Structure formats: structure tokens, C-alpha cells
């Protein structure tokens, strides 16, 4: 498991911290790591 930096944070391509797939919008580069 990847440590959750916070809700809405992308932990993998198109994958949010909460497990949902909703990171297609890369407008917020800061949310990616």
C-alpha cells in the first residue's frame, strides 16, 4: 500500500489516494508525486 498524502492525491496514474480512478485531469501537477 502507498501512504496516503491526503484525499484527492494521486498515488498512481489515474488513481486517487482513496482508490477511485479519477486522476485523468493533470491540471493540478502538485497533486501528483
For 1-33, write each residue's pLDDT tens digit. Answer: 456 666 666 667 667 766 677 666 555 554 544
Domain boundaries, given as residue ranges, for the chain:
1-33
Whole-prediction pTM value? 0.29
Dihedral in degrees, nearest 10, Cα atoms 25, 26, 27, 29: 150
Q: What is the pLDDT of residue 7?
A: 60
Q: What is the pLDDT of residue 15?
A: 73
User: Minimal CA–CA distance to 17: which of 4, 27, 29, 31?
Assistant: 4
Q: What is the pLDDT of residue 20?
A: 72
Q: What is the pLDDT of residue 5?
A: 60
Q: What is the pLDDT of residue 17?
A: 67
Amino acid at each position: 500500500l502507498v501512504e496516503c498524502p491526503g484525499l484527492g492525491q494521486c498515488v498512481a496514474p489515474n488513481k486517487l489516494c482513496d482508490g477511485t480512478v479519477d486522476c485523468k485531469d493533470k491540471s493540478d501537477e502538485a497533486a501528483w508525486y
